Amino acid sequence: MTRYKMVIEYDGTDFCGWQKQDDGVSVQGELEKALSVFAHEDVNIAGAGRTDAGVHAYGQVASFDLKDDLDPFKMRESFNALVRPKAISVLSVEKVSDDFHARFSAMERQYIYKILNRQAPAALDRNRVWHIMQPLDVDAMKQAAQLLLGKHDFSTFRSSECQAKSPVKTLDELTITRRGEYIFFFVRARSFLHHQVRNMVGSLVMVGQGKWTVEDFHRAFEACDRTKGGMTAPACGLYFNSVKYAGSEG
């Protein structure tokens, strides 16, 4: 058996998410169908992160095993031909050691969240940003975001459907940057709770809108109770950006 690693970009708008499901079109499902045609065998692909419906990816990473030793370049080209016209692009394929696993070998995952902050709606970025018409106070959001850094109980930002054993996570970065009409959230951690990034962004936006003070945000966070938290940001603004592994990045 030969193990392979691939990096994938996709627009999540028309997918039910990364994970294969019985009642929807998934990114994992489309890639596994393409691989079965190319390799003439049924293969299970493991992803570094399970993005929800509508969430996009610049650098999702996946791994899989094949009986045959195949050329990575030809595999990439075949993948992209077979998944067309779905909004999926395989950026690279490479052979890796048998102990590599896209999910379990990951040292760090990075997400980006995008907000378009202007009166006029998005045309070119439709389904790819959260459009907010009201001006946002980025400085207040930055101040609140600093409270989240480090190791904490993130129950306030945890989905009721989350299957993680513990709500305690370590957040390594949450940087907020305004670039013209766009506001970007850069978030890094080894792992995340279900909907954690979207729930954090939604609560920070409430600070930016003046609905909450930084103190209100802090009290909600310390309550460790999802019902005390803010809204869940739309999936369309979230991007799985990259994965870091020991000695390299995905």
Chain centroid to CA 165: how far? 20
Give the span between the Cα atoms of 42 and 85, in whole angstroms: 22
Angle at Cα 22 formed by Cα 21 and Cα 24, nearest 5°? 70
CB 108 within 8 A of CB 188: yes
Partnered with residue 222 across adjacent β-strands are none
Token pair of 94, please? 């490479």
* Paired strand residues for 17: 52
User: Which residues are annotated as catalytic?
Assistant: 52
Q: What is the DSSP string of 29-56?
A: HHHHHHHHHHHSS--PPEES--PBTT-E
